Amino acid sequence: MGRAKERALYLLSASAKTESWMRQKLSQAGYPGEAVEYALNFLKEYHYIDDNAYVESYIRSSGGKKSRRQMEFELRQKGVSKDLLRQALEEFPVDEEEGARELLMKRMKGKTGISREEKNRLAAYLGRKGYSFDIINRVIKEFEASCDSE
């Protein structure tokens, strides 16, 4: 049991992890179920693992760079429950339009014109980032308008 705890602490040394991720890694390493539970209880007791704090931190750090849909997908991949995710996103709302605008501006880096082909590529890029068609359309139209006014 002590070895599982040591392994868990080692895995946490690089960055924070979710409970689900840690359970999976310890199980894959061949530790018996009771040792895994012992290690997880230890980690939770001393707040080394806290899914609420993990999700909050993730949303705050990724909120301006990723769409809500992309964050939901990535956090679900890490084993965060839907309820916890929904609650955290209500508590810490993400301004998707502002995030899409920042990505677009970063991508365009001072360019003043935008061709139809480039517009399609930008729309596809933002779509792959998880932004909705409405937001993509609004942000690209804003960019075109700002280019025309200059």
Give the domain ranges of the chain.
Answer: 1-49, 51-94, 96-149
Res 150: pLDDT: 60
Place 15 in a pLDDT band, splitting at 50, 70 and 90: confident
pLDDT more than 90, % of the chain: 55
Average pLDDT over residues 134-139: 93
69: nearest Cα among 144, 129, 149, 141: 129
Domain 1-49 sits in CATH at 1.10.10
Place 112 in a pLDDT band, splitting at 50, 70 and 90: confident
For residue 50 the two structure tokens come to 């806290």
Q: Which long-range contacts (CB under 8 A, 24 or more apart) does 116-124 make?
A: 119/144
pLDDT more than 70, % of the chain: 98
> Cα(105)–Cα(112) distance, rounded to whole angstroms?
11
> Cα(13)–Cα(59) distance, rounded to whole angstroms?
21
59: nearest Cα among 87, 83, 35, 36: 87
- For the entire predicted model, the pTM comes to 0.78
SS (H, E, C) 26-41: HHHCCCCHHHHHHHHH
Average pLDDT over residues 62-80: 89
Res 54: pLDDT: 93
Indicate if the pLDDT at residue 56 is higher than 80: yes
Place 73 in a pLDDT band, splitting at 50, 70 and 90: very high
